[in-house]
Amino acid sequence: MADTCDLSVIIPTFNEEENIASIIGAVNEVFRHSGIHGEILVVDDSSKDRTIEIVKEIAGKSDNVRLIVRTEDHGLSQSVVEGFGAARSDVLQVIDADFSHPPGLIPEFYEAIRDGADIVIGSRYMKGGDIEQWPFKRRVISLGATAFGRILFPDVTDPVSGFFAVRREVVAGAPLAPRGYKILMEVLGRGEWQSFVEIPFVFKDREEGESKLRLDTMTDYLRQCAGIARFAVARRAGPVWEEWMRIVRFGLVGISGIFVNMGLLYALTEFAGLYYLISAAIAIELSIVNNFIWNDIWTFGATGNLR
């Protein structure tokens, strides 16, 4: 196929012999129906089953399917980052091999990027999103990871999603430090972006094979969050820093409103001689106006458009 294409779909794999042929077929079917000129890049982490053999066989018959086999520094996030570097398109889509992420939404992600978004995130936790057939323990782990992620990215409802699309320039040259499963956190925390869009989807548990999620992955995830926070503080720039500064500005404006309220209440009561309740009503209204103006000009106006 040509050196460039509309969209590169990156599928990280490890022991996915039961799913890989089906997911490649499903993505190619999406390409045919949508008119997207796309490639499928399977990045395998040295599978012990027939995954590599199956992909090689498919790639031999299809010019838009490629395989990368990784032999060291194993991990899902590392595989995705290698896929970023090898992809031929300037629009990069990440999707799981096990049908947890619906391939039918790929055109919607692609169109959102074309409409100007830097990152498009599939969200399980916004209106319209959901998770099917997850045991209680796995739900608790996911909700805990999401809660920590939202400390860093308050506006993102699902910062640990594995289903997302991104412009190449967001990750090109970014000091990504991939570990574990949460590569989107690295993209959000270290990439160069201005706007994002979230698209709801229903997460379905893997159709075939064994889940690779373990409780000990939370340790890696917490280290990852700490690393992103340190990076933001050291750099004093980027989305994480801007979000934190917005929270700080919001708090400072709130404190200023308290002083405006107290000062006006004292001045109107003691010097203007107004009845206390009237003074209080005026002070409250003017402190609200104070907060509104400063939040509009300083808190939110200073951060730019992050959505």
pLDDT at 195 over 60: yes
pLDDT band at 305; cut points 50, 70, 90: very low
294 CB-contact burial (10 Å; exposed 0-12 / middle 13-18 / buried 19+): buried
pLDDT at 208 over 90: no
Pairing mode of beta strands 65-69, 38-44: parallel
Q: What is the mean pLDDT of residues 5-30?
A: 97
Q: What is the CATH number of domain 7-235?
A: 3.90.550.10
Q: Is the dihedral of CA 268, 273, 275, 278 positive or negative?
A: negative
Domain spans, the chain:
7-235, 240-299
pLDDT band at 255; cut points 50, 70, 90: very high
Is 109 in contact with 199 (CB distance < 8 Å)?
yes
Alpha carbon distances (Å) from 268 to 22, 24, 90, 256, 282: 74, 73, 62, 18, 9
As a whole number of angstroms, the distance between CA 289 and CA 109 comes to 40
Weakest mean pLDDT among 54-63, 136-145, 291-300:
136-145
Residue entry with tokens 């400063």: 294
pLDDT band at 295; cut points 50, 70, 90: confident
- Residue 275: CA atoms inside 13 Å, Cβ hemisphere, count? 3
Taking only the tens place, the pLDDT of each residue in 160-171 is 899 999 999 999
Strand partners for 42: 11, 67
Mean pLDDT computed over every residue of the chain: 87
Strand partners for 196: 119
Higher pLDDT, 88 or 173: 88
pLDDT at 245 over 90: no
Q: What is the mean pLDDT of residues 138-150?
A: 77
Residues 6+ apart with CB under 8 A from 181: 75, 76, 77, 162, 213, 217, 221
As a whole number of angstroms, the distance between CA 177 and CA 220 comes to 12
Q: What angle do CA 37, 38, 44 make, to 5 degrees?
A: 170
As a whole number of angstroms, the distance between CA 120 and CA 280 comes to 47
pLDDT at 72 over 60: yes
pLDDT of residue 128: 94
Is 58 in contact with 52 (CB distance < 8 Å)?
no
